Amino acid sequence: MKPMGPIPPGFVAADDGSLAIAGRPVEAWVAEAGGTPLFLYDREAMAAKIAAFRAAMPDRVALHYAVKANPYDDLLSWLENRVDGFDLASAGELARVEAAGGLARPVSMAGPGKSDDDLSRALAAGVTVNLESEGEAARLVALAEACGTTPRVAVRVNPPFALKGAGMTMGGRASPFGIDAARVPALIRWLVERGADWRGLHVYAGSQILRAEVLVEAQRATVALAGEVAAAVGMPVRDLNLGGGFGIPYAAVDEPLDLAAVGAGLDETIRAAPDVLAETAYAIELGRWLVGEAGVYLARVVDVKESGGTTFAVTDGGLHHMLAATGNFGQTLRRNYPIANASRFSQVASEEVTVTGCLCTPIDLLGDAVMLPETRVGDLVAIFCAGAYGLSASPQAFLGQPAARERLV
């Protein structure tokens, strides 16, 4: 038996003993959607996260949604009047946010390889471009001059500090992301000279961070860095995007993030910030933390088989929809996501089962030697923590399998 991650709070059994999502048994959702595999995204779970953020964080800190985590249209539309802004990684995401009505709010675009098309569309939409290099700054200014508009820009800083305890770190070393801090003041002066509307800074130091003290320290260092940059250029920082990086527990070893501690730390940081940041508008961009635990991936068991003493439950889902759950999306070690027999959610886990996808490759492993109730052909399997970096981060065309369905519930 191998451990699995904790099932996120709020998931309970329906009267029939199956998993309920948004108050209805999973089979009802599958019937309504027309089949499996199916992603369900629970509005109440997201609303609870937003409320928790508002309660824990200082009022001055805006909540942005990082669209890269999940660009599903209905989810964006639902978030549109519940978050304070959107952060984008491409013109493709811009189009989705525009369709969801999100352009009325502050929107920024980051990414180390923005094309001229990305930059032009950002310009046309009035999006703040988080500049990642001097070369990109020059391209944007030239594009803006060619069409007679004033570019709205922030500078993304490659911070000189590193984070410990992050799932992925991006600071404290050579990086394709942002501009090394020492060169940032010169770039800002150049931008201002060229007539750009310089709004502030963007610092993203890491992702999937579960230790509050790591986030608190990163935010403290980021505010200090912003103060230094503002002093160097002699101008206030109007917008400071503190990045995101709030993690969620995926594996048995993971402890949930202590949000109250993060909020208290950030409150202290902001109160202690230098005068040059007195008018600064702070934002935190969250993707995974906001929507990850709200998503459930449902697949149906098409075969149960025994081999060499192991029981395999083979589903109609797989890594073509949930690559990250198989440990093949940046993880160095494969760990079991939380997984359940959704048809027998109230039953006691009584047998060790290895749950696989339907793909003809040994890496299509969804639950390795997990304890589940006795699992039969036709049962639904649920993989939790599927709301972020799920479908859009998976090789959907692989092996010509049918498309997954998605529903906001």
- In the list 81, 310, 346, 350, the residue contacting its own copies (rule: CB under 8 A) is 310
Query: Which letter does DSSP use for residue 110 in this model?
Result: -
Residues 358-397 that bind its own copies (CB under 8 A): 358-363, 377, 391-397
Smallest gap, in angstroms, from Cβ of residue 306 to its own copies?
Answer: 8
**Which residue reads 């039969």 in tokens?**
376
- In the list 318, 338, 367, 387, the residue contacting its own copies (rule: CB under 8 A) is 318
Smallest gap, in angstroms, from Cβ of residue 67 to its own copies?
Answer: 8
Q: Please, what is the end-to-end C-alpha distance for the chain in angstroms? A: 33
Amino acid at 354: T
Nearer to its own copies, 212 or 365 (CB): 365
| Residue of 96, 92, 225, 93 lying closest to 155 (CA atoms) | 225
Residues 89-118 that bind its own copies (CB under 8 A): 89-96, 110-115, 117
- Asked whether position 47 contacts its own copies by CB under 8 A, the answer is no
| Binding mask of the shown chain, residues 319 to 338, with x at each position contacting its own copies by CB under 8 A | ----x----xxx--------
Nearer to its own copies, 212 or 314 (CB): 314
The per-residue DSSP string of 272-334 comes to: TS-GGGTTPEEEEEESHHHHGGGEEEEEEEEEEEEETTEEEEEES--TTT-GGGGT-SS-SS-
Nearer to its own copies, 114 or 211 (CB): 114
Rounded Cα distance, 213 and 313, in Å: 41
- Asked whether position 354 contacts its own copies by CB under 8 A, the answer is yes
Amino acid at 308: G
- Asked whether position 316 contacts its own copies by CB under 8 A, the answer is yes
Nearer to its own copies, 90 or 222 (CB): 90
Helices then strands, counting H and E runs in the chain, come out as: 10, 22
Three-state secondary-structure class, residue 129: strand
Rounded Cα distance, 310 and 156, in Å: 50
- Asked whether position 261 contacts its own copies by CB under 8 A, the answer is no
Range in contact with its own copies (rule: CB under 8 A) among 44-52, 212-220, 288-296, 297-305? 297-305
Asked if residue 171 lies in contact with residue 162, where contact means CB atoms within 8 angstroms, the answer is: yes
Range in contact with its own copies (rule: CB under 8 A) among 147-155, 210-218, 290-298, 308-316? 308-316
Between β-strands 128-131 and 107-109, what pairing exists: parallel, antiparallel or unpaired? parallel
Smallest gap, in angstroms, from Cβ of residue 71 to its own copies?
Answer: 6
Number of residues that bind its own copies (CB under 8 A): 74
Nearer to its own copies, 149 or 311 (CB): 311
- Number of residues in the chain: 409
Residues 207-236 that bind its own copies (CB under 8 A): none
Asked if residue 266 lies in contact with residue 57, where contact means CB atoms within 8 angstroms, the answer is: yes
- Asked whether position 344 contacts its own copies by CB under 8 A, the answer is no
Provide Rg for the chain, Cα atoms.
23
Nearer to its own copies, 145 or 303 (CB): 303
Residues 143-182 that bind its own copies (CB under 8 A): 158, 168-170, 173-177, 179-180
**What angle is formed at CA 394 by the lines to CA 307 and CA 382, rounded to 5 degrees?**
55
- Asked whether position 135 contacts its own copies by CB under 8 A, the answer is yes
Smallest gap, in angstroms, from Cβ of residue 157 to its own copies?
Answer: 11
Residues 68-87 that bind its own copies (CB under 8 A): 68, 71
The tokens describing 263, both together, are 């909020």
